[in-house]
Structure 1
Amino acid sequence: MLSLARSELAWQEAQRYLAGGVNSPVRAFRAVGGTPPFIQRGAGARLYDLDGNEYIDYVCSWGALIAGHAHPDVVERLQRAVERGTSYGAPTELETALARRVVELFPSIELVRFVNSGTEATMSAIRLARAATGRAKIVKFTGCYHGHADPLLATAGSGLLTFGIPSSPGVTPGTAADTISLPYNQLEPVEEAFSQAGGEIAAVIVEPVAGNMGVVPPAEGFLQGLREITRRHGALLIFDEVITGFRLAPGGAQELYGVQPDLTCLGKILGGGLPVGAYGGRRELMELLAPLGPVYQAGTLSGNPLAMEAGLATLELLRRPGAYERLEALSARLADGLRRASELAGVPVAVNRTGSMLTAFFTSEPVTSYETATLADTARYARFHQAMLRRGVYLAPSQFEAAFVSLAHGDEEIDRTLEAAEEALREIASS
C-alpha cells in the first residue's frame, strides 16, 4: 500500500504559503484526486518522494529531462559552472555556443534570442511578428497551449470572426479580441479566416505536434497547408516547439515533417532541466530586436550560464549514436503494450504517439483534435492514474498531457510499466 504520510503533511504546509499549494496548477492533482507526492530527488528514470516511495517517471519535468534525472554529464558541468558563479548579467561564450548549436540543428533559424521560459519565447515571438508585418491579429488553435501571456489565453468566439474571448479572468476583452482561435488540424477555417481578415493577421502560431490537449499529431498536409496559406497572405508562421524541439528529431518537428516556419519557439530540453526559453528565425526578422532594431525585449537572467551549461550537456548526449533510435524503440514498445493491455482488459484506450511523447486517451474514438480529445473519460483516467501511482508509475496528473520517455528509461522500466498498466486496467474493468 502506498504511504504518503510525509507528503500529506508537506501538502498541508504548502497550502498555507503557496497559492493552491503549488507553483503550476496541474501539480495540485485536482484532475486525478489524491495527495501529490512531494519529490525529494530524482535519478535516471526514477523519482523518490518524502515517504521513500520510488516511481518510474514519465513526466520528466514535463518533457525537459530527455536525458533523465541527474545525468552525470549534466551534473558535472553544472557543478563546475556553479563554482564560477550563478549569474552575471553580461555576455558569456556559453550563450554563443548554445546558440550556434541551435542554428546548426534548425535550418529555419539564423539568429537566436534566449529568454527564461516558453511563455516568454511565445509572447516575444508574437510581438516580433506584429512588428515585422505591421498587423495586430494572430491565429492560434483551440487546445494548443503557448504559455500564459494574455493574448494566448483566448478561446474561440461564437462565429469564425468573433475574435477570441478571454479564457482567464484578468485577460481583457480588448487583448483577446486580437486572437482568432480555430480548430486544430483543419485548414478550411484557416483559409476562411484569411479570406476575411488576411490583411490584419500578423501570424499563425501552432504546436506542430499538439502536446497540451494530450498528444495529437498533425493531420497529413496540415502544417504544409499553414505554410502555404501564411506565405500567400504575407503572414508569419510560428512553430511553438517548446515541447517538440530536440525531442522528435535533432531539428524538432520541423525536421520531422519537412516544414520550415518563419519563427520558432524553444524551451524545456534546451535548458537540460533548468529554466530556459528561446526564439529564433531568419536574420532579417531577428534583427528587428533591440539593440539592432526597435522591438524591445530584455531579461535579467536570459542566457543564464547554468542553463546554458545544462543545455549544452544535454544536446551533446543527444548527439551520441543511436540516441533517437533508442527513444523511438522504447516509446513504440510502450505505446504498443498499452494498446494490447487495453484490448485484454476490454477498456477502450486510444494511444497517440509521436516519437518519445505519447498519451493514452480513455476513449474508443480516434483523437485528432481538441473536440475529440475532450470526449475522453477523465474519471477513468483519474482512476488509472491513481492505480498506476500505487504501483510505482508516475504519470501526468491530467488526461490532457503527454507522457515522455527519456534516454534513462530502459526495457526494465517499460516492462514494469506495462505490467502495472495491465493490472490497473483490469482493476478499472472490474469495478
Structure 2
Amino acid sequence: MRDFTRSNAIQAALHDVVPGGAHTYARGSDQYPEQMAPILVRGAGARVWDCDGNEYVEYGMGLRSVTLGHGYAPVVEAVARAVADGVSFSRPTELELLAAQDFLELVPGADMVKFAKNGSDATTAAVRLARAATGRHTVAVCDQPFFSVDDWFIGSTPMNAGIPRTRTVRFRFNDLVSLADALEGHRVACVVMEQATALAEPAPGFLEGVRALCDRHGALLIFDEMITGFRWAAGGAQAVYGVRPDLSCWGKAMGNGFPLAALAGKREFMELGGLRTDADRVFLLSTTHGPETGALAAFRAVVHAYRTEDPVGRMEAAGRELSAGVNAVAAGLGIGEHLSVTGRPSCAVFRTADANGVPAQSYRTLFLQELLERGVLGQSFVTSAAHTAADIELTVEAARDAAAVYRTALEQGSVHGLLRGRPVAPALRARAEPRRLADRVAD
C-alpha cells in the first residue's frame, strides 16, 4: 500500500487554516478516498509527485486548465522572460494589446476582449452587461454543472446558504421547448450555457435554435467556453459548431495553468463597459491582476503552440486509446455495463455503477482508491497533449487490477471490506455530511 502519512498531516493542517481544506471545492479531500488525498509538490508532463514521494499519472490536469502538460517549457520560458521585466504596472503594457489581438484572431466572432483572473468574474461581467443592455434581470441557465461562484448562479444550487433569492431560471440541454418556456415565462436578460459537455453533443439544429430564440425574445446569448476553449478547439466550441454568441467567457486552459480568464463579445455590448458610449456605464471588469504580464505571456505561448502544433489532436488520440483500453478491460471481466469510460476523447469520464446498474458514489470511490494505489490520480480521464503511450499503458494496467477489485464488489453486492473509509460526496451539496469532519480539538 502507498504511504500517505505526510499528505494526511498536511491535509489536516489545511483544514485548520483553509475552510474546506482546499481553495477549490473540486480539489477538496472529500472528493477523494479518505486518507488518500495526495498533497502534490511538482509535476512534469502528465506526471505528478506528492509530498510522500509517490508518483502518479494525472488526469483532469488542473481541473482541465493544463492542456500542454505540466512545466511545458515554451510557456515557462515566456513567463520567465516577461516577469523579469516586471509583473504589474500603473498603466497598460503593450503585451495587453498583443494578447488581445492574438485572442481575437482565434475567435473571429468576437470584436473585443477583456482579461481577468477567474471564470466567475468573466461570467458575472457578461450577465451584468446583458442586464444593462436589455433592462431585464432574470438569467436563464442550462442544466449544466457550474457557471459561477456568484449569487446569480450559486443561489440556484443546493449550496445556497447566505444567498438571497435569485432571479435565475433553468432549461434543459438539447430541449428547445424548455428554453422557449423559460423565455416566454420570464423577462430574461440572457441565456448562459455550454455548447457541449463531455457527455452531451448539441443535437442538429439545437444551437441554431437557441440563437433564434434569443433573438426572438431579445435576450443575449452567452456561451461558457471555460472547458471547451482550447480543448474542443483553439477557437472554442463556437469554432466547432459555428454559432456566434453575443458574449463568451473563457478561462482554464488559456494559460496552460497560469491564471487567466476572458470576457469576449460583440462590440455593441462590450462598449457598454468602455468610454465610447452615451449610455450609463457598466462596471465591467476592473482587476488589478487581470493584465499581469506572466499570465498574458503564458497565453501568447499557448496560442503559438496551438498555431504550430496539434494539441487537441494529441489529447483526443490519447483519450481514444485510453477509453478503448479500459473499456476492453471491463468487458473482458464481464463488468462493462457497470464500469466504463465515455465522453469526448479529450474530456473523458468514467461511469461507475453498482450491481443494479445504478451510478454509485461508493463504487466510484472504490475505483478511485484502487487507481491511486497503482499510480493513477484523477477524478476523470481528462487527457492532455502531454499524455504519452507509456502513460496510457500504465493507466490501462492500473485499471485492469482496479477493475478486478471492482468485480469482487459487484459479486458480493457491496463495497464492504474493500473500500477503506466513506465514499466521496458531491462537491456542491447543502451539508458537510456525508463527509463531515470532526470538530477541531482546541490547542
Residues 58 and 89 (structure 1 numbering): CA distance in 2 closer, same or farther, change over 3 Å? farther
1:159 aligns with none
Deviation (angstroms), 1:68: 0.5
Q: Tell me what 1:21 maps to.
A: 21
SS at match of 1:360: strand
Secondary structure at 2:348's aligned position in 1?
A: strand
Q: CA deviation at 1:363?
A: 4.2
1:172 and 2:161 matched: no
Q: 1:257 aligns with which of 226, 241, 244?
A: 241
Deviations 1:249-268 (A, max 9, x none): 12111111222111110001
Q: CA deviation at 1:220?
A: 3.7
Show CA shifts across 1:230-283 (max 9, x none).
Answer: 122221111100111111112111111222111110001112212111111111
Cα deviation, residue 50, structure 1: 0.5
Q: Would the aligned equivalents of 1:166 and 1:172 in 2 still touch at CA under 8 Å? A: no
Question: Does 2:195 match 1:208?
Answer: yes
SS of 1:404's equivalent?
coil
Corresponding residue number in structure 2 for 1:247 = 231
1:383 aligns with 2:400: no
Residue of structure 2 aligned with 1:346, choices 307, 313, 334: 334
The DSSP-based 3-state class of the residue aligned with 1:180 is: strand
Q: Deviations over 1:124-147 (max 9, x none)?
A: 001011111121111002233112
**Residues 115, 276 of structure 1: 8 Å contact kept:** yes
Equivalent residue for 1:430, pick from 401, 408, 419: 408
Aligned to 2:218: 234
Alignment of 1:185-200 (within 5 A): 185-197=174-186, 200=187
Correspondence list, 1:12-411, <5 A: 12-35=12-35, 36-155=37-156, 167-173=159-165, 176=166, 178-197=167-186, 200-210=187-197, 215-293=199-277, 294-297=281-284, 298-347=286-335, 348-363=338-353, 376-396=359-379, 402-411=380-389
CA distance in structure 1 between the aligned counterparts of 2:393 and 2:90, rounded to whole angstroms: 47
Asked if structure 2 preserves the Cα contact closer than 8 Å seen for 1:351 and 1:359, the reply is: yes
SS at match of 2:136: coil
Paired with 1:190 and 1:150, the residues of 2 have a C-alpha distance of: 22
Name the counterpart of 1:3. 3
Amino acid at match of 1:137: T
Question: Unaligned 5+ residue runs, structure 1?
Answer: 156-164, 365-371, 397-401
Question: Per-residue deviation at 1:92?
Answer: 1.2
Q: CA deviation at 1:323?
A: 3.1
C-alpha deviation, 1:112, in angstroms: 0.1
- CA shift at 1:225, angstroms? 2.0
The AA in structure 2 aligned to 1:33 is P
Count of residue pairs the alignment pairs up: 400
The question of 1:416 aligning with 2:394 is answered: yes
Aligned residue for 1:189, secondary structure, equals: helix
Partner AA of 2:402 in structure 1: A
Q: Secondary structure at the match of 2:147?
A: coil
- Provide the TM-score with structure 2 as the length reference: 0.86
Question: 1:344 deviation in Å?
Answer: 2.0
Instruction: State the distance in 2 between where 1:63 and 1:393 align.
Output: 16
Name which of structure 1's ranges 272-281 and 346-355 shifts more when overlaid on structure 2.
Answer: 346-355
Q: CA deviation at 1:334?
A: 1.5
Identity of aligned pairs, percent? Answer: 35
CA contact (8 A) 1:108 1:263 kept: no
Contact 1:334-1:414 within 8 A present in 2 as well: yes
* Cα pair distance change 1:276/1:207, threshold 3 Å: same
Spell out, residue by residue over 1:326-364, the C-alpha distance to the aligned partner (whole angstroms, 9 max, x if none): 222111111222322222233323533225111112249
Residues 190-229 of structure 1 show CA distances to partners (whole Å, capped at 9, x for unaligned) of 11222333xx111110012236xxx433344332221121
Report the alpha carbon displacement of residue 376 of structure 1 after superposing the two structures with TM.
2.3
The 1:39–1:300 alpha-carbon spacing in structure 2 relative to 1, beyond 3 Å, is: same
Q: Distance in 2 between matches of 1:295 and 1:118?
A: 18
Counterpart code for 1:295:
V
Aligned partners of 1:276 and 1:322: how far apart in 2?
22
For 1:206 and 1:305, locate their aligned partners in 2 and report how far apart those are by CA, in whole Å: 30
Larger CA deviation: 305-314 vs 26-35: 26-35
Whichever residue aligns with residue 34 of structure 1, its letter is E
Superposed displacement of residue 291, structure 1: 3.6
Query: Quick one: distance in 1 between partners of 2:339 and 2:365?
Result: 13
- Once superposed, which parts of structure 1, at least 4 consecutive aligned residues long, lie more than 4 Å away? none
CA contact (8 A) 2:74 2:301 kept: yes
Q: Show CA shifts across 1:371-394 (max 9, x none).
A: x9xx62221111111111111111
Which range moved further: 68-77 or 88-97? 88-97
8 Å contact kept, 1:108–1:281:
yes
Moved more, 220-229 or 33-42: 220-229
Q: CA deviation at 1:32?
A: 3.4
Aligned counterparts of 1:321 and 1:275: Cα–Cα separation in 2: 22
C-alpha change, 1:323 and 1:276, in structure 2 (3 Å) is: closer
The runs of 5 or more residues in structure 2 that have no matched partner are 410-443
In our comparison, the structure showing a higher alpha carbon Rg is 2
